[in-house]
Amino acid sequence: MSWDTQSWAGRIKPGSASEKLVLLGLAQCSDANHCAHPSIDWLCEFSDLNRKTVISAISRLEEKDLIRDTGRRVGKTGQVKVYRLGAGRAADPESNGAEIGTVPKPERFQNRNSSGSSSKESQNRDTEPVLEHKTPQSPPPGDEDAGSKRNRGSRIPEDWSPPSIADLPPSAKAKASQWPAGAYEAEAEAFHSFWLGESRAGSRKSDWNRAWYNRINEITGRVLRDARAGVKVTAPKSPATAPAGPLRIHDTSRENAGARKIRDGIRKLLGDQVYDQWIAPSRLDVQGDKLTLVAISAFASNYQRDNFANDIARAMHAVLGPDAELRFHHERPPA
């Protein structure tokens, strides 16, 4: 439990009681890096709110940039999201311009007997509320969102491309330089494709290159583990040099009715574009209360697990029940 994060959460006014309770619950579970991953059930018990209200509160906290999905998943099934708290600089009246993604450090209180504390300040401590109203700063000239609470950012451009490794910030550059050949381009393409098809909270960013730098820091461990395990990654080819012919996909003609229903649920949750690229080529093997998603490559399987596990699990539970088990596997389709 991080006292700095709890102190920050106590000062924040997200706008509703339910959001405040959920934010305090997340802060109580935070670690030294201001990250937390309590289950929805735990947050329901902590806040005395129902499940639907808790999920809605989390979504609104993400929209306000007070919490941010790190992309990591934990728990027995690898489906519990890890959130980083303290992302909302604009919502914190005492943030003092802290970087987005950091929790403001608490100020040191002056000694009450020191000469720096006036009698008026002493009186204010006893008569005024802890938080004082501050006039919001005027938005910079040319800000398209002038007059609104904050700039919500924009969706990723269709023509976005990652900067070269040489142009990355020092930390991201050091990590990406260790990646095997082709991994940087492949991961960047997957990052771009995912955010093009995403429509939920968090799909708008103020700086997409910085979001990519953060992604590099988060996935380097997994990329290097895959490389040590012998996973081969081929950089995506441009359309001019792409091989002709259809994409090799798994035969799905023998999937049972349960698998087809799960597919329909996944498509509704992910949208047609993301589904067609990342799920359609895979095979869904349903045996009893177990679903195995068989991808066409190790890279595709890892990407499905890292980015879509929660949505796939939701579609699976709706068909197979709450105790169903999700597994990820890969095998090359027959030629």
Question: What CATH number corresponds to the domain at position 62?
Answer: 1.10.10.10
Task: Looking at the structure, tell me whether residues 198 and 233 fall in a common domain.
Answer: yes
Mean predicted confidence (pLDDT) in 172-193: 88
Q: Residue 330 corresponds to which tokens in the numbers above?
A: 């890969």
Q: Which residues of 229-252 are buried (b: 16+ CB within 10 A; e: fewer)?
A: eebebeeeeeeeeeeeeeeeebee
Look at residue 113 and tell me if it is in a domain. Answer: no
Using CA atoms, how far apart are residues 149 and 32, in angstroms rounded to an integer?
A: 29
Domain boundary among 245, 275, 297: 245
Cβ–Cβ contacts within 10 Å for residue 137, how many? 7
Domain boundary among 221, 245, 269: 245
Task: Looking at the structure, tell me whether residues 159 and 240 fall in a common domain.
Answer: yes
Look at residue 147 and tell me if it is in a domain. Answer: no
Mean per-residue pLDDT of the chain: 77
Look at residue 167 and tell me if it is in a domain. Answer: yes
Domain boundary among 190, 213, 245: 245
Look at residue 65 and tell me if it is in a domain. Answer: yes
Task: Looking at the structure, tell me whether residues 175 and 233 fall in a common domain.
Answer: yes
Higher pLDDT, 239 or 313: 313
Alpha-helical (H) ranges within 89-151 are 119-127
- The angle at the Cα of 248, spanning 188 to 156, to the nearest 5 degrees, equals 25
Alpha-helical (H) ranges within the chain are 3-11, 17-28, 40-47, 51-63, 119-127, 170-176, 183-197, 208-228, 257-270, 272-278, 298-320
- The angle at the Cα of 148, spanning 145 to 153, to the nearest 5 degrees, equals 45
Mean predicted confidence (pLDDT) in 172-182: 88
**For residue 195, what are the domain limits?**
152-245
Q: Which pLDDT value is given to residue 325? A: 93
Using CA atoms, how far apart are residues 1 and 3, in angstroms rounded to an integer?
A: 6
Q: Which pLDDT value is given to residue 319? A: 93
Q: What is the pTM of this model?
A: 0.34
Mean predicted confidence (pLDDT) in 162-177: 90
Task: Looking at the structure, tell me whether residues 211 and 237 fall in a common domain.
Answer: yes
The tally of domains found in the chain comes to: 3
Look at residue 18 and tell me if it is in a domain. Answer: yes
Look at residue 295 and tell me if it is in a domain. Answer: yes
Task: Looking at the structure, tell me whether residues 171 and 218 fall in a common domain.
Answer: yes
Coil, helix or strand at residue 329:
strand
Given a cut of 90, is residue 285 above it in pLDDT?
yes
Using CA atoms, how far apart are residues 151 and 128, in angstroms rounded to an integer?
A: 31
Task: Looking at the structure, tell me whether residues 263 and 241 fall in a common domain.
Answer: no
Look at residue 117 and tell me if it is in a domain. Answer: no
Q: Which pLDDT value is given to residue 33? A: 83
Given a cut of 70, is residue 290 above it in pLDDT?
yes
pLDDT digits (tens, 9 = 90+) for 215-267: 999 899 888 888 888 777 665 554 433 343 445 788 888 899 999 999 999 99
Higher pLDDT, 3 or 132: 3
